Structure formats: C-alpha cells, structure tokens
C-alpha cells in the first residue's frame, strides 16, 4: 500500500521543478529570504467571520501569523520562474502540496482532477483549468507582447485577431481529519536544560491554495469572508471549490461573449457585402479571411476549455457524492445542488460556442462565395469587352481586306483621264501566296486547339513538341479508330 501511495507523493516532480529554475544571482536571494507574494483569507474561531491579510512577501513571514482553522492562500502561478520559483518550491514542501499537482504544471497539463487521502487521514483534492483569455482593443482582438517571446510568436501576433493569452490557474484543497490535527510531541534541547518535549502547533483544518488565479476570484472571496462563518465552511469545505468553479465559469463565459461580439461586427459587414458582390471584391479587407480563421481558432480552444471544465466538474461531483455519502447535511446538499447548477451553465456555454463555431463556418463560406462571385462578374465584364472588340473587328474586317487588296502594287489608278483602274497581269500571284498561307495558319490553329482541348479535358498529357504534335496525332488516330469501329 505504501508503495502505491508513493506514486503521488514521491519527490521526483519537486526535483524536476527545482531543476527547471533559472539561476539567480540576486544578492538578496538567500535560503532564509525567498520572495513570493502571498494573499491570505482566514477564519480563526468558531462563529467568526473571515479576515484578510495582504502584502505577505515570503513563507517565513506567513508562518509568523497564527494558524487559523480555515485559510485560503493566493500564490503566483505554479510554474518555475526566476522570480518566484524558489518561493513556490518552498511553499510546495512546507504545505505538503501533492507532487502530482506539481508534475501536472511541469507537463503543461490543460485539465486535470485528482483526489487522494494521506496516511494521516488528510484529504487532498486538486485540479488545473486552462482558459483562453483575449484582450480587446477598439473592437479587435489583439495580442500584448510579453518579454522573451520567440520571433515566430512575434510574427504570428501581428496577424488579424491574433491572441496568445491563456489563464491556467491551479487549485489544491486540503481537508485534515481530527487524527491529523493532533499535536505531535517534538524533542528539543536548549543550552540550559536537558532534552524536553515541545508540541508542534496544529495546522489549519481546511486549506485552499490558489495558484495563478484570476483577480476576480480574490475579489469574490473578499465578499465571501464577510458572509460565511468558520462553522459554515467546516460543515462542507467543498463549497470553496464551488466558488472557484463559479468564477472560472465567468472568465470562460466572458471570453466567449467577447469573441462573439467581435465576430458579430464582421458577420454584419459580410452580410452587407453579400448584396453587392461585385463591389465586395474592392471593399473586402485584406485581412478578412485571416481574422475569421483566427476567431474560429479561438472558438475551438474555448470549446476545448469548456469540455475540460465539464469533465473536472463531473469528477468533483462524483468525489463529493462519495465523500458525503447518502445522507448529506444541509450544507453538503447545498453544495451538491450548486455543482449541478454550475454544470448546466457550462453546458449552456458549450452549446453557444458550438453555435458560434457553425456561424463562423457559414460566414467563411459566404465570404468565399462572395469573392468567387465577384471574380466571376469581373471576368464576365472583361469577356463582354473582348466580345465588343471582336464584333468591331468583324465589322471592319471586310473593308480592311478590300482596302488591303486595292492598296497592293497589282492594282494601280491611271494618272491621266479617264483615271481607270489598271490590274496587273501578275495579280494571280497574290492569291498563289495568300491562299496557302491562310490554309497553313488554319491547320496550325486547329492542331493547337485540339491539343489544348484534350489537355483541358485531361484526355492526354502533352508529351513534347511546341504545339503538342504527338497529342494531335494520337487524337487523330483515336478518331480514325472510332470511325473504323463504327463502320464495322
């Protein structure tokens, strides 16, 4: 049993986290002074409302405060960074954060849910949630450059409606049993006495760790601390996770509405251009299709986030039902109802995102048809111009032919009265040269036309020759064979 428990309690993830920490050469960075910003909400005594402590700069400073019965701790995102990585590592170790939770962060897991009961009876529940977070500027989705971005990312962020913001908070709930709350005697020595027994102070019964949580969640707990008492939270600590899911739903839903609003303006503009497809070719923005595809990509990511959140919520429901049993108290029943209600909200957003995805597909197809129709009308206009030129050429061709014949040296107008037209005896040379040349030109045109028609119909591939003589010959032989077959 102990070996199985070690699968989620070994130190390998902590060592891997430490190995990924960048080297720090700051003079103020010492093992006893590891900087990490923390924000604390706590409930100390039975019946009391909560309190708030901000501006905590390290774990050493945090431990100077008395251990409350219930506490909620906000910390930076659980990733190995040069600024807070060492502080996070110290927080993981001192607070007994499940190492599986740390491993998920190192592996960039987008969604998870884990539950484990330690040997001392402490229940650990943790999960990560990934959500697309967009930034809107003047009705467009934009990407705000961050330090250390690669060249490819900087190039990609210049595309229309591009955005690479993500929110990935992690949450750990620890519920300690009465057995784990028992003070443990510790033997210590002083310079003036023999060995004595000291009692290790008991820890909080309920602890919620929020890593990289949105600011709206902290605002939510600021209101919550004035409403709930310590006894309320001890009745069912899982209500804290319900509040977390409520705020994460708001973040995801707000992002979905933001993308829908940006897309709505593009949709309206596209419908307007559909009434005048010829004009749309000129009025269509150059980044129209790029923007639409980026919006569709954001929607795909949001649908994935929503499905992951639903999976987390369902896993939490199963765990909560198994923990509270068939006869929950009033607070536990309230949490059950709240989780069921939260599930319907996520499902509603999921359906809306599916509808938005279909609307985007429809507009992309409509935009393509508008461009195609506009190009077709442009080609028709050019074809009409060519037709006009051809008609005018046919009209003046007889006159030009007659003028060319009479302008040759074979016909000459006499200089003296009665100014008769004299035709040369060698006039027949004109026809002797012109007729064969005309026939040759017609043969060459016919060969080119037959070859082009065959290649256009994928009947034959050009095998060589400037004008496709082999293709022409093959087509002619095929025609002869078909004629012989019909004759037989």
Tell me the DSSP string of 41-82.
EEE-STTPBPEEEEEE-SHHHHTTS---SEEEEEE--SS--T
Q: Which two tokens stand for residue 368?
A: 């393509």
* pLDDT given at position 48: 78
User: What's residue 123's pLDDT?
Assistant: 93
The helix/strand/coil state of 29 is coil
- What tokens were used for 116? 């484990």
Q: Look-up: residue for tokens 């100077």? A: 64
Average pLDDT over residues 66-87: 91
Per-residue pLDDT tens digits for 329-358: 999 999 999 999 999 999 999 999 999 999
Mean pLDDT, the chain, whole residue set: 80
- CB environment 274-310: b (16+ within 10 A), e (fewer): eeebeebbeebeeebeebbebbbebbebbbbbbebbb
282 in Cβ contact with 375 (< 8 Å): no
- Is there a contact between 238 and 334 (Cβ–Cβ < 8 Å)? no
**Quick one: which of 340, 364, 363, 360 has its CA closest to 352?**
360
Q: What per-residue confidence (pLDDT) applies to 473?
A: 55
Task: Extract the tokens encoding 153.
Answer: 């990312």
Beta strands in 145-251 (DSSP E): 166-167, 170-175, 184-190, 193-200, 206-211
Rg of the chain in Å (alpha carbons):
41
Q: Which of 331, 336, 296 is nearest to 316 (CA)?
A: 336
Question: Of 73-77, 148-152, 410-414, which range is least confident?
Answer: 148-152
Mean pLDDT of 226-234: 89
* H or E element in which residue 7 lies: none
- What is d(CA 225, CA 202) in angstroms, rounded to the nearest whole number? 23
Predicted confidence (pLDDT) per residue in 165-210, tens digit:
888 999 999 998 765 455 444 444 444 444 444 444 445 689 999 9
What is residue 117's DSSP assignment?
E
| Nearest of 3, 238, 199, 235 to residue 119 by alpha carbon | 3
pLDDT digits (tens, 9 = 90+) for 369-389: 777 776 666 666 667 778 888
Give the distance from CA 351 to its chain's centroid: 18
d(Cα 427, Cα 456) in Å, to the nearest integer? 44
Q: Is 370 exposed, middle or buried (0-12, 13-18, 19+ CB in 10 A)?
A: buried
CB 212, CB 234: distance < 8 Å: no
Strands annotated E in 143-254: 166-167, 170-175, 184-190, 193-200, 206-211
Residues 378 and 345: beta-carbon distance below 8 Å: no
pLDDT at residue number 388: 82
Q: What share of the chain in percent tops pLDDT 70?
A: 78
pLDDT confidence of residue 37: 94
Q: Name the residue among 115, 94, 329, 90 with its Cα closest to residue 204.
A: 94
What tens digit of pLDDT does each residue of 243-296 get? Answer: 999 999 999 999 999 999 999 988 888 888 777 766 666 677 777 888 889 899
- Rounded to 10 deg, the angle between the 12-19 and 85-94 helix axes is 170
pLDDT digits (tens, 9 = 90+) for 404-452: 887 788 888 777 777 787 888 888 888 888 889 989 999 998 898 888 8
If we measure between CA atoms, which residue out of 240, 238, 180 comes closest to residue 210? 240
Q: What is the pLDDT of residue 419?
A: 75
pLDDT band at 218 (very low <50, low <70, confident <90, very high): very high
- 313 token code pair: 């919520």
Mean pLDDT of 63-86: 90
The predicted pLDDT at position 481 comes to: 60
Task: Please say if the pLDDT value at position 137 is more than 90.
Answer: no
476, 481, 482, 487: CA torsion to nearest 10: 130
Choice between 43 and 110, residue whose per-residue pLDDT is larger: 43
Q: Which residue(s) pair with 75 in the sheet?
A: 211
214: Cα within 13 Å, side-chain hemisphere: 24
| Rounded (10°) CA dihedral 23, 27, 30, 32 | -150
Of the candidates 289, 278, 241, the one whose C-alpha atom is nearest the C-alpha of residue 382 is: 278
- Residue 467: closest CA among 447, 442, 487: 447
User: What pLDDT, on the 0 to 100 scale, is given for residue 191?
Assistant: 40
């Amino acid at each position: 049993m102990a070996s199985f428990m070690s699968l989620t309690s070994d130190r390998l993830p902590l060592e891997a986290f430490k190995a990924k920490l960048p080297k720090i050469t700051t003079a103020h960075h010492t093992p006893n002074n590891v900087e990490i910003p923390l924000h604390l909400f706590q409930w100390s005594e039975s019946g009391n409302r909560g309190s708030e402590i901000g501006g905590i700069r390290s774990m050493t400073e945090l431990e100077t405060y008395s251990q409350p019965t219930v506490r909620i701790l906000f910390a930076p995102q659980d990733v190995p960074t040069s600024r807070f990585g060492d502080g996070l590592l110290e927080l993981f170790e001192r607070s007994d954060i499940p190492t599986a939770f740390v491993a998920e962060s190192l592996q960039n897991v987008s969604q998870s849910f884990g539950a484990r009961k330690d040997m001392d009876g402490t229940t650990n529940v943790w999960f990560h949630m990934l959500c697309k977070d967009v930034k809107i500027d003047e009705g467009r989705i934009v990407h705000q450059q961050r330090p250390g971005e690669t060249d490819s990312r900087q190039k990609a962020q210049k595309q229309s409606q591009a955005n690479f913001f993500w929110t990935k908070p992690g949450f750990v709930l620890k519920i300690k049993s009465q057995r784990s709350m028992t003070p443990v005697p510790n033997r210590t020595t002083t310079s003036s006495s023999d060995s004595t027994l000291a009692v290790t102070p008991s820890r909080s019964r309920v602890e919620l760790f929020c890593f990289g949580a949105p600011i709206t969640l902290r605002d939510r707990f600021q209101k919550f601390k004035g409403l709930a008492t310590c006894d309320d939270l001890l009745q069912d600590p899982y209500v804290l996770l319900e509040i977390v899911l409520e705020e994460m739903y708001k973040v995801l839903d707000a992002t979905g509405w933001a993308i829908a609003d940006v897309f709505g303006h593009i949709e309206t503009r596209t419908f307007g251009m559909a009434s005048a497809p010829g004009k749309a070719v000129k009025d269509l923005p150059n980044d129209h299709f790029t923007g639409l595809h980026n919006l569709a990509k954001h929607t795909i990511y949001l649908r994935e986030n929503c499905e992951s959140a639903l999976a987390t919520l369902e896993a939490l429901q199963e765990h909560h039902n198994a923990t509270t049993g068939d006869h929950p108290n009033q607070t536990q029943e309230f949490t059950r109802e709240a989780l069921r209600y939260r599930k319907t909200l996520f499902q509603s957003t999921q359906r809306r995102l599916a509808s938005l995805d279909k609307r985007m597909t429809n507009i992309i197809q409509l935009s393509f048809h508008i461009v195609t129709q506009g190009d077709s009308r442009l080609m028709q206009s050019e074809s009409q111009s060519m037709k006009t030129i051809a008609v005018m050429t046919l009209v003046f061709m007889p006159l030009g032919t007659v003028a060319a014949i009479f302008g040759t040296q074979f016909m000459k107008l006499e200089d003296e009265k009665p100014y008769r037209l004299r035709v040369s005896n060698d006039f027949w040379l004109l026809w002797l040269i012109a007729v064969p040349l005309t026939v040759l030109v017609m043969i060459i045109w016919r060969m080119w036309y037959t070859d082009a028609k065959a290649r256009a119909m994928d009947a034959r591939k050009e095998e060589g020759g400037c004008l496709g003589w082999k293709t022409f010959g093959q087509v002619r032989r095929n025609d002869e064979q078909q004629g012989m077959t019909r004759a037989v």
